[in-house]
Amino acid sequence: MHPKYLSIFILLYISSCKFIFPISDLDPKVLDQKTAENRAKQVTNVRYDISLDITKKETFHGVTSIHFDFIKNDSPLRVDLANAVIESVQVNNKTLQGIDYEKGHFMISVNHLSPGRNTIKVAYTHPFSRSGNGLHIFNDPEDNETYIYSQFETNHAQAMFPCFDQPDIKASYKLDVLHPKKWKIVTANLADKKTSENEFTRSYFPETLVFSTYIFSLHAGPYAEWMDRYGKLSLKLYARKSMAKYVDHKLWFQVTKQGLRFFEKYFGIDYPFSKYDQLIVPEFNFGAMENVGAVTFSERFLSRGKVTRSGKEKLASVILHEMAHMWFGNLVTMKWWDGLWLNESFATYLAAKAQYEATEFKEAWETFFTGMKSWAYKADKSITTHPIQGKVSDTEEAFTNFDGITYGKGASVLKQLEFFIGEEEFRVGVSNYLKKYSYSNATLLDFLTSLEESSGRDLKKWSSEWLESEGFNRLLAEKTCDSSGKYLESIQLTQDHITNTKIPRSHKTQLALIKLQSNKPVLMGTQTVEYGEGITKIKWNTEVECPDFIFSNYGDYDFVRTDYPSEILEEKNLSTLKSILQGMDTLSTLMIWRDLFEEVRDGDLSLNRYKNLTMDILPQDKRDIVLESNLGHITSPSFSSYHSFLYLKKQSDRQLELEELEEYTWKHMLGSPSQSDRKKLWFRGYVAIGQSNDFFQRTIQLLTNKESISGLSLDQDMRWSLLKKICSLTSDRSRINELLDAEKKRDSSRIGLNSALACEAATPDPVTKGIWMNRFTKPNEVYSPSTLRTVLHYIFPIHQKNLQIPFVEYFYQNIKEGKIEGDENYQETYAYSLAPSFCTEENRHILRKFINNNRNLPANILKSLKIKLESEEECLLIRKKNGF
């Protein structure tokens, strides 16, 4: 699509639209902090007795008794219960009439409660969830088996049982469940009794230790099961029967046992609960969830082909992240959601630490940088950034904080803190904190006090700078050599705060001096330094030659944006940069590559020069992680890759370059070692770029087995990636439908069905697009939120932006009128995926105006739109600087 046609449409749209958003009442399921604080003063010593019947297909029945000590005050007591049909409510054996129920909670008058022990008993019916939150049900199309699992964070426990759904009212739980006889039931404890009731079984689970509602769980179904032990601790792993063949249970248990051993030693505390089960479940909204004794994982961590080392490493990281939560988050929990980072940042950081020290995946700090830390820098640069420890007014706002700040920046800042106060001092402080607040809740002050006691350092200023303030600093390291130019005299570190932060910070980093010898970088020495506001002069601790390059964050201990002297990026010095990129250790190489792409994003480095540098170096660098983390900057089908910007050119101007990129990826894929992970990475790039007739015809030959790629076995998911791409290239369905029918016969799984629907939606046909745009507004049993999220990714690829134009107004109308059904997870995906991204001034103007005129949109939708607006602004900057 040439941008001039888009401009005409958008100018017409601006003149015709009115941006009005109706003000709606607060969702009754939302809990605000003030209400939570008041309720925490009313109740203590809570126990839930939960009895469930899950034998029906659409709904489940429950009877829950809440036992608690009541501390009398004048406020009625709120009980959370979302979207249920309440049959009866009893308080201390007296049935209440006329309960005012708002589908999210009901209130109990203090007149019905007595100081001391009380019981509220509720009988109710509730629909099973299709959204992935609450008690979710899934029917497997391959074997028609049914599976159930729960997901309660942040406040969805109330979608299974009435409760005080907030993190600082910890409780114990007794559970019994009526279920089909062949089903396995998994929760926080092992069952201690089973009875038969006609054709069903009732399983009984004893009272648990105390923990928060959001980490209680229930899972049910005919799961495949694997068993192991860690000392006396029971370990089990579960997956759908139809997915069992893809589960490498030996790897799961190996990493699990390595992690348990590491964390028990590191924390000085034995695993704090009775068992450790892990369940791999379908249609899961997140990566995983740290339920006590029954951790859930998305099936996205299963591969239906040969698993790459990168895939295994990512799985190990997530297993260890969730395990770390058993101590950080489950044993000790934040009081309110403003302390979410105390859970997620620690789990993220300590997972990398455990992975590096206890498993085979010694690349942990490299993948930590390319994943979590890069996410952190991006999130902290955004206008949607926030302090790591900030204000969270309610549970709706809490959901928006599951982001790169809470996970990535928090973990990165903890790495800086450990370096700042000392590794052992940090470990001892963490251990003491966990021991002191076991099975209770804690605050930031509690955590800092423990670290201050172990390190002997006052951390109030550090906390104010790093945890309670947003943004990051920039650091420029400049050398001064002696008059002969041979020896280093000093290094000047300049810290500024010209990005989006308002303050300088206290930093500790490691400098490294690099000298080129025979065009290869040689590490001449390192030195640990602390620096603060303004300029810090550093004298090297030994006499050393003047370096060719200074690495100002060697080892990646600091959280700071590295600036380079301007001459480093000049064309005449690119040979020096190439030598450094090809010869440095992997972590340093990855850090420099990221810095270079940030220079592109800031408009300080030509995208074309970056592309040429990348295409030259990547085939020569044999480290897969370097290829994986940088190839997408050329081949990705989304802004701001080089590939994406070609679609801002006229078709005649871009076609040759697209074919050159296609040939480039194909050539290096063929030249990669047989059956290697590297070959798969190049294949992925080839599919992303592919659009020529040669690509189209070759894909048909591959899918019909008339052609093959030497040394590359096409697994089922790779076949779908090819088919989805060619579906997006032609509206002639005759040939495509034949291929699609054949592929659906090969793969009747839910993944296959979703992929087939994505193929349909990707068709470059306005009528098809209209059908799917309507479907996206109403997730249902046929088109679940999980299915629609898959399809959303393929509806308007980079080469079909012209087909999105007629639906722009429809998108904005749906958002402002609140017509998007589904939960907060789905609505966020809808908003981000379909918000127009055209890289034009007109589109930026519309999006900004819509945001400014609709500040009362749900927090998650508003945040998604702001992030999309920032992407549009970045794209425009690069476009202007590079003349696209």
Cβ-based neighbour number of residue 543 at 10 Å:
7
Identify the sign of the CA torsion 577, 583, 584, 587.
positive
Query: Pairing relation of β-strands 561-563 and 474-481?
Result: parallel
Q: Say how many CA atoms lie within 13 Å of 536 toward its Cβ.
A: 21
**Euclidean distance between the first and final Cα of the chain, in Å?**
13
Q: Say how many CA atoms lie within 13 Å of 211 toward its Cβ.
A: 26
Backbone angles phi, psi at 48, to 5 degrees: -110, 130
Nearest partner of 221 among 243, 193, 197, judged by Cα: 243
Nearest partner of 179 among 157, 131, 146, judged by Cα: 146
Position 822, amino acid: G
Provide the 3-class DSSP secondary structure of residue 167: coil
Query: Pairing relation of β-strands 276-281 and 294-298?
Result: parallel
Cβ-based neighbour number of residue 720 at 10 Å:
23
Nearest partner of 747 among 242, 144, 145, 279, judged by Cα: 242
Q: What is the DSSP string of 613-646?
A: HHHHHTTT---HHHHHHHTHHHH-SSTTSHHHHH
H and E: helices and strands count for the chain = 31, 28
Cα 309 to chain centroid, rounded: 20
Nearest partner of 89 among 116, 53, 113, 115, judged by Cα: 113
Distance CA 361, CA 355 (A): 6
Close Cβ partners of 62 (under 8 Å, ≥ 6 residues apart): 50, 51, 52, 53, 122, 123, 124, 125, 126, 160, 161
Q: What is the DSSP string of 639-658?
A: TTSHHHHHTTS-HHHHHHHH
Q: Which two tokens stand for residue 659?
A: 């074919």
Q: What is the DSSP string of 292-309?
A: TTEEEEEGGG--SSPPPH
Cβ-based neighbour number of residue 647 at 10 Å:
23
Residue the block writes with tokens 């509602």: 213
Does residue 640 have a cis peptide bond before it, meaning omega lies within 30 degrees of 0?
yes
H or E element in which residue 575 lies: helix 574-583
Distance CA 345, CA 388 (A): 9
Residues serving a catalytic function are 322
Cβ-based neighbour number of residue 866 at 10 Å:
17
Position 516, amino acid: L
Q: Say how many CA atoms lie within 13 Å of 241 toward its Cβ.
A: 16
Query: Pairing relation of β-strands 200-205 and 233-239?
Result: unpaired
As a whole number of angstroms, the longest Cα–Cα distance in the chain is 94
Provide the 3-class DSSP secondary structure of residue 70: strand
Cβ-based neighbour number of residue 667 at 10 Å:
12
Distance CA 633, CA 101 (A): 52
Note whether 349 and 324 are within 8 A (CB). Answer: no
- Region for 866 from its dihedrals, namely left if φ exceeds 0, alpha if ψ lies in -120 to 50, beta otherwise: alpha
